[in-house]
């Protein structure tokens, strides 16, 4: 009696996925794995980023972070139920989880009055609280989902390219806002909302997308670019945090055509950035260039460093010999919002001290104005007084909505990310670090809930994914003449794992 042994397949199933051998192989197909999400797991991220101008025109761009989280969450649940993949979390995720718990706890204090504020409709508070909290949950799902995809399912290069595409969209929107500052659209979705929801200021801003935010900053009404976002400050924030990805996904790893588009976009975006009158975004752009120059010098990339310095010198010359000089000097000398910001920041600290653990769940309206508690909205000045406490920056928003504890946890999570990935000197690591660092600057002046927070979390996910990739690359290196019984060294990307079902 003889036994015939079948020869082993010389090509393993993961042969076309280099350096990804440690990812679990899928089990037998089920109904879940036969759908679109199984064939192309990265489609929710692609739909979110590539079609972002469409979502903006429909007035639902800020809600898409919640919408796309639904199929991603369903996919991860399927992984857990069928045991096809273990759900990993990044280092420091426990800090963010505690922040989410603190944010959710704010629901119990939505009706509580805060010192120095007036009564406001609780229904509006519930609406904004629900949207903000669901956005936090949505970007959390996005972070976990991206971190658990393989390089074959969604390459880092493609993700960086899509993030750079947002910078292209933002530049085009900025130029269009300069050319047609008064153009405004009305979303067809607005007619589907109840009348009570239509009166909300946040809904009004989302459902009436415009190319510019017309404001009297320098003595005359000027259009400040904002498309494809709802506010000029958000536009400046997103432009500066997306430009590093344009350099990575289009210049560093792209072809000739993509490099040309990247160069033209970077050159053109300077003009709407200056006309946006966003002083903090100007500072952010300068700090980004300085940080990039420092990292390149540390790596010995002096050719690229010279190119950056030449570009900065050219921009400086253009500012000096064109009317842009007067625009910049006029904006720096005209800080009408400084007094308002200072007054609201002081009131925010007072409210945070009164409820330091979970805050008040949502913003409140100040009593009176910065000049007097008796000054409020009138027919001639509907915007006078009763400004929203916590509306002048992400830090102030966190303090009033989530208390000192919640704000501390939020800041600690992103600070840990900066420290954790500080040694990543790849193009992905440098760009991701720039985005996280800019978040600390912008939190004093810009709200981040929505697009800025979503893009920042995407940068965190790229850093995490890149760390996993580098660790697998290190683990596949021949360890030398070590004994076969000696275990392989564990990579730097080892993580605490939430075991979902049995391992494949």
Q: State pLDDT tens for residues 178-192.
A: 999 989 888 888 777
pLDDT tens track for 107-132: 999 999 988 888 888 888 898 899 99
Tokens 């208390």 correspond to 403
- The pLDDT value recorded for residue 219 is 67
How much of the chain, in percent, has pLDDT values that exceed 90? 51
pLDDT higher than threshold 50 for residue 24 = no
Q: Is 120 exposed, middle or buried (0-12, 13-18, 19+ CB in 10 A)?
A: middle
Q: How far apart are CA 236 and CA 279, in angstroms?
A: 9
Banded pLDDT at 13 (limits 50, 70, 90):
very low
Domain that holds residue 410: 39-369+385-475+493-498
pLDDT higher than threshold 80 for residue 18 = no
- The pLDDT value recorded for residue 36 is 61
Q: How far apart are CA 438 and CA 496, in angstroms?
A: 28
| Domain assignment present for 29 | no
Centre a 10 Å sphere on the Cβ of residue 36 and count the other Cβ atoms it contains: 10
pLDDT tens track for 448-478: 999 999 999 999 999 999 999 888 776 655 4
| Domain assignment present for 482 | no
Q: How far apart are CA 318 and CA 312, in angstroms?
A: 10
Distances (CA, A) of 220 to 87, 214, 330, 332: 55, 10, 12, 16
- The pLDDT value recorded for residue 238 is 97
Distances (CA, A) of 334 to 4, 216, 316, 326, 329: 87, 11, 21, 12, 9
Are 155 and 42 in contact, with CB atoms under 8 Å apart? no
Banded pLDDT at 22 (limits 50, 70, 90):
very low
Q: Is 50 exposed, middle or buried (0-12, 13-18, 19+ CB in 10 A)?
A: middle
- The pLDDT value recorded for residue 475 is 62
Which uninterrupted H or E stretch holds 197?
A: helix 195-198
- The pLDDT value recorded for residue 384 is 59
| Domain assignment present for 426 | yes
| Domain assignment present for 330 | yes
pLDDT higher than threshold 80 for residue 8 = no
Query: What length is written for the chain?
Result: 504
| Domain assignment present for 390 | yes
The two three-digit tokens of residue 162, written as one number: 């899509």
Indicate yes or no: pTM above 0.85: no
Among 13-17, 253-257, 376-380, which is the least confidently predicted range?
13-17
* Number of domains into which the chain is organized: 1
- The pLDDT value recorded for residue 124 is 81
Alpha carbon dihedral 84, 90, 91, 95, in 10-degree steps, equals -110
Banded pLDDT at 375 (limits 50, 70, 90):
low
Q: What would the mean pLDDT of 477-493 be, rounded to a whole number?
A: 43
Cα radius of gyration rounded to whole Å, the chain = 25
Centre a 10 Å sphere on the Cβ of residue 385 and count the other Cβ atoms it contains: 21
| Domain assignment present for 181 | yes
**What DSSP designation does 252 have?**
I
Q: C-alpha angle with apex 308: 307 to 314, nearest 5 degrees?
A: 90
Among 52-61, 119-128, 422-431, 447-456, which is the least confidently predicted range?
119-128
| Domain assignment present for 201 | yes
| Domain assignment present for 134 | yes
pLDDT higher than threshold 90 for residue 336 = no
- The pLDDT value recorded for residue 185 is 85
- What SS3 string covers 162-191? HHHHHHHHHHHHHHHHHHCCCCECCCHHHH
Q: How far apart are CA 392 and CA 233, in angstroms?
A: 10
Side-chain half-sphere of 113: how many Cα atoms within 13 Å? 8
- Residues contacting residue 299 through CB under 8 Å, at least 6 positions apart: 425
The two three-digit tokens of residue 483, written as one number: 């004994």
- The pLDDT value recorded for residue 352 is 92
- The pLDDT value recorded for residue 494 is 37
Q: How far apart are CA 131 and CA 109, in angstroms?
A: 16
Per the prediction, the chain carries an average pLDDT of 81
Q: Which residues pair with 216 in a beta bridge?
A: 221
Banded pLDDT at 30 (limits 50, 70, 90):
very low
Give 185-188's long-range contacts (Cβ < 8 A, gap of 24+).
Answer: 185/57, 185/209, 185/210, 187/57, 187/58, 187/59, 187/60, 188/58
Q: What would the mean pLDDT of 37-44 be, rounded to a whole number?
A: 83
pLDDT tens track for 121-165: 888 889 889 999 999 999 999 999 999 999 999 999 999 999 999
């Amino acid at each position: 009696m003889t036994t015939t042994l079948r020869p082993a397949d010389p090509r393993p199933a993961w042969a076309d996925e280099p350096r990804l051998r440690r990812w679990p192989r899928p089990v037998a197909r089920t109904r879940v794995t036969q759908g679109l999400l199984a064939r192309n797991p990265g489609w929710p991220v692609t739909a979110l980023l590539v079609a972002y101008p469409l979502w903006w025109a429909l007035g639902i761009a800020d809600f898409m972070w919640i919408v796309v989280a639904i199929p991603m969450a369903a996919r991860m649940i399927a992984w857990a139920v069928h045991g096809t993949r273990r759900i990993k979390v990044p280092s420091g995720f426990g800090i963010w989880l505690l922040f989410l718990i603190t944010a959710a706890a704010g629901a119990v204090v939505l009706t509580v009055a805060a010192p120095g504020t007036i009564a406001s409709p609780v229904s509006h508070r519930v609406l904004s609280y629900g949207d903000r909290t669901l956005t936090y949950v949505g970007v959390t799902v996005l972070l976990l989902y991206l971190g658990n995809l393989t390089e074959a399912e969604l390459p880092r290069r493609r993700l960086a390219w899509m993030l750079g595409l947002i910078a292209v969209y933002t530049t085009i929107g900025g130029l269009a806002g300069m050319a047609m500052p008064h153009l405004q659209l009305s979303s067809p979705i607005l007619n589907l909302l109840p009348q009570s929801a239509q009166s909300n200021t946040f809904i009004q801003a989302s459902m009436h997308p415009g190319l510019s935010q017309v404001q009297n900053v320098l003595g005359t009404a000027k259009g400040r670019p904002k498309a494809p976002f709802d506010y000029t400050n958000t536009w400046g924030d997103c432009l500066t945090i997306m430009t590093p990805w344009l350099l990575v996904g289009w210049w560093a790893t792209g072809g000739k055509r993509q490099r040309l588009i990247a160069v033209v976009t970077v050159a053109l975006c300077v003009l709407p950035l200056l006309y946006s009158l966003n002083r903090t975004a100007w500072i952010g752009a300068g700090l980004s260039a300085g940080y990039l120059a420092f990292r390149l010098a540390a790596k010995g990339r002096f050719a690229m460093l010279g190119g950056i310095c030449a570009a900065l010198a050219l921009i400086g010359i253009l500012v000096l010999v064109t009317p842009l000089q007067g625009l910049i000097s006029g904006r720096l000398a005209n800080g009408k919002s400084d007094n308002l910001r200072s007054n609201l920041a002081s009131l925010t600290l007072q409210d945070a001290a009164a409820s330091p653990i979970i805050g008040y769940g949502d913003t409140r309206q100040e009593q009176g104005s910065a000049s007097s508690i008796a000054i409020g909205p009138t027919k001639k000045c509907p915007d006078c007084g009763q400004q929203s406490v916590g509306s002048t920056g992400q830090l102030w928003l966190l303090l009033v909505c989530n208390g000192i504890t919640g704000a501390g946890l939020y800041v600690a999570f992103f600070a840990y990310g900066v420290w954790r990935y500080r040694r990543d000197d790849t193009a992905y690591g440098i760009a991701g670090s720039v985005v996280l660092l800019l978040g600390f600057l912008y939190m004093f002046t810009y709200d981040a809930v929505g697009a800025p927070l979503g893009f920042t979390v995407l940068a965190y996910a790229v850093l995490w994914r890149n760390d996993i990739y580098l660790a697998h690359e290190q683990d596949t290196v021949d360890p030398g003449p070590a004994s076969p019984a000696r275990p392989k060294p564990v990579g730097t990307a080892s993580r605490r794992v939430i075991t979902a079902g049995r391992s494949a």
